[in-house]
Amino acid sequence: MVSKLAMITGRPVKCTLTREEVFYAHRGRHPVLMWVRTGVTRDGLITAMHFKSALDGGAYGSYGVASTFYTGVLQPITYDIPAYRFEGCRVFTNKPPCGPKRGHGTPQPRFALELHLEKIAHDLGLDPAEMKRKNFVKPMTRTVNWLRVTSCGLEECAQKVLHASGYGDRKRLPGHGMGFAISSYLSGAGTAIYWNDMPHSEVQIKVDRGGVTAYCGAMDIGQGSDSVLAAIVAEQLGLQPKDVRLVTADSDTTPIDLGSYSSRVTFMAGNAALEAARKMRLMLVEAVEAAGRKYEDVKFEEACVLAEAKFGTLVSAGSYTPPKIAGPYKGSGVGPSPAYSYSACVVDLDADARTGLVHINKVWIAHDVGRAINPLLVEGQVEGSVYMGLGEALMEEQEFRKGLHKWPSMLEYKSPTFLDVPEMETFIVETDDPEGPYGAKEAGQGPLLPVIPAVNAAVYDALGVWIDETPVTPEKIVEALRRKDKGEPARVGPTRFPDIPYPACIKVEPPPKDLSASPAEI
């Protein structure tokens, strides 16, 4: 409507919403009901898993098909699951439509899977962290559903947070608990929203006597992508980031970029920038050597003069298209990524058995970012994810009654303030991914995923009750303790999964596990 009015009037048009209207018009995270059954050996090795999901999609489709797939496809990216079955559906309801939110369809199954494995470990008398570590995926392998794992720093992430927190040697005191969880996420989706063979990111670089300018369609929405692109170009040309001018997010003057979503900008636009900068560097080197000079002995400004005299206008372009690595089955287009990031988290908290109040003391978080091009930005993204995860774990909730939102205002809809943020200790793990720009992977969404299940696991560690849904409110804790005292199951959460007529499953032969397998073997 706004776009059409702007076209008709030829003037800028702005649509403003009241806070209540925002609660109805926004695309929030899908509520998801999940059912998990896992086969394990006595010593905790996973042998098979069956995962079902049902998403409350609200009134419209949005990007719901992909969201449904994402609730199931990434489980084998963290744990080595030899046999895996996934069934999912998305239900239309008379509520505001849901869509992608930080983590896009993956925080919900991560929550379910991490707590599910916690319960299995307790039933087997095993330490949950050690049982999970026993099943970690290995680098340079393929999963049972044909997803390709390149670099993987999951074990190092786990080691750092477990050692720093003293998780294994923690004192077991009533009301005090610690929880451990892990996660993984995409470094950009391997397929475009509208499938085609064109590049996902393009960058152009212009060099002249006035300096260096990089043009890219990627939009910096606060995540710091402009700084990353400038740093990549500067590194290749032997400059400082401040020496690179950027023109971004202007569709009139910049080349195509698919957008700031799916944690793709650093990896994809970064690779495009790296290619363009390498081409420019080759032109500069060739011009300097043609003049009988050594490149390392010439100032950049002089190299530009020599290159401009030799080639004329100095322009280079780079692009990035993800490899075609989807599996040979329908639906395999959701899940593949050029690389996956990995995270591990430990949460320390106190929980009051009388009031149900929870106080987070400290969070330890480690993230495998491949290579931190800007470590300060990475740390900010990771800690921002922790902040957001704590809000979802303890406060944020949308309740509806007869199709209407119960509390469509920021007064009743609680989210953390800076007074609620606990101490955080962040570890950046570098694994130098072979396909990322200078080895970099994503950092914008993955670190959120382990925070929520780590909080719930810590509540169980403190009070011996499971809160199998979010948020963990004092009312739910008190109710779970009441049930425990009465000899009932010490939990609050969904009690059953509906009988859904899922279509017949597509049976797929697993690929060779080793990435070094020849094409003939695949």
Show pLDDT as tens, one digit a residue, over the chain (522 residues): 899 999 999 999 999 999 999 999 888 899 999 999 999 999 999 999 999 999 999 999 988 999 999 999 999 999 999 999 999 999 999 999 999 999 999 999 999 999 999 999 999 999 999 999 999 999 999 999 999 999 999 999 999 999 999 999 998 899 999 999 999 999 999 888 777 889 999 999 999 988 999 999 999 988 899 999 999 999 999 999 999 999 999 989 999 999 888 899 999 999 999 999 999 999 999 999 999 999 889 999 999 999 999 999 999 999 999 999 999 999 899 999 999 999 999 999 999 999 999 999 999 999 999 999 999 999 999 999 999 999 999 999 999 988 889 989 988 888 999 899 999 999 999 999 999 999 999 999 999 999 999 999 999 999 999 999 999 999 999 999 999 999 999 999 999 999 999 999 999 999 998 887 644 455
Closest CA to 20 of 410, 398, 304: 410
Burial 353-372 (b: 16+ CB within 10 A, else e): eeebebebeebbbbbbbbbb
- Is residue 445 within 8 Å of residue 102, measured between CB atoms? yes
The two tokens of residue 465 are 């009750």
Give the number of other Cβ atoms within 10 Å of residue 481's Cβ.
19
Closest CA to 52 of 68, 37, 38, 35: 35
Whether domain 23-188+330-492 has CATH 3.40.30.10: the reply is no
CA angle, 196 then 199 then 205, to 5°: 160
DSSP state of 163: H
Within 217-351, strands assigned E span: 244-248, 314-320, 340-351
The two tokens of residue 78 are 């963290």
The two tokens of residue 277 are 């900068």
Burial classification of residue 39, based on how many CB atoms lie within 10 Å of its CB (0-12 exposed, 13-18 middle, 19 or more buried): middle
Q: Return the H-helix or E-strand segment holding 36.
A: strand 32-40
Class of the CATH domain delimited by 201-320:
alpha beta
The two tokens of residue 323 are 């490899």
Which residues are bridge partners to 27 per DSSP? none
460 vs 456: CA distance, rounded Å: 6
Q: How much is the pLDDT for 332?
A: 92
463 vs 349: CA distance, rounded Å: 11
- Is residue 178 within 8 Å of residue 170, measured between CB atoms? yes
- Is residue 290 within 8 Å of residue 333, measured between CB atoms? no
205 vs 215: CA distance, rounded Å: 6
Q: What are the C-alpha distances in Å from 152 to residues 337, 388, 459, 464? A: 13, 24, 29, 33
Half-sphere exposure of 382 (CA within 13 A, CB side): 28
Q: What residue ranges of the chain are covered by domains with CATH 3.30.365.10? A: 23-188+330-492, 201-320
Determine if residue 467 is left, alpha or beta; phi over 0 gives left, psi from -120 to 50 gives alpha, anything else beta. beta
DSSP H helices, 395-489, are 451-463, 474-485
Give the number of other Cβ atoms within 10 Å of residue 279's Cβ.
15
Residue whose entry in the numeric block shows the structure tokens 């059953």 = 496
Sheet of 423-429, strands arranged across: 176-186, 340-351, 358-368, 423-429
Closest CA to 460 of 436, 496, 484, 438: 484
97 prior amide bond cis, ω within 30: no
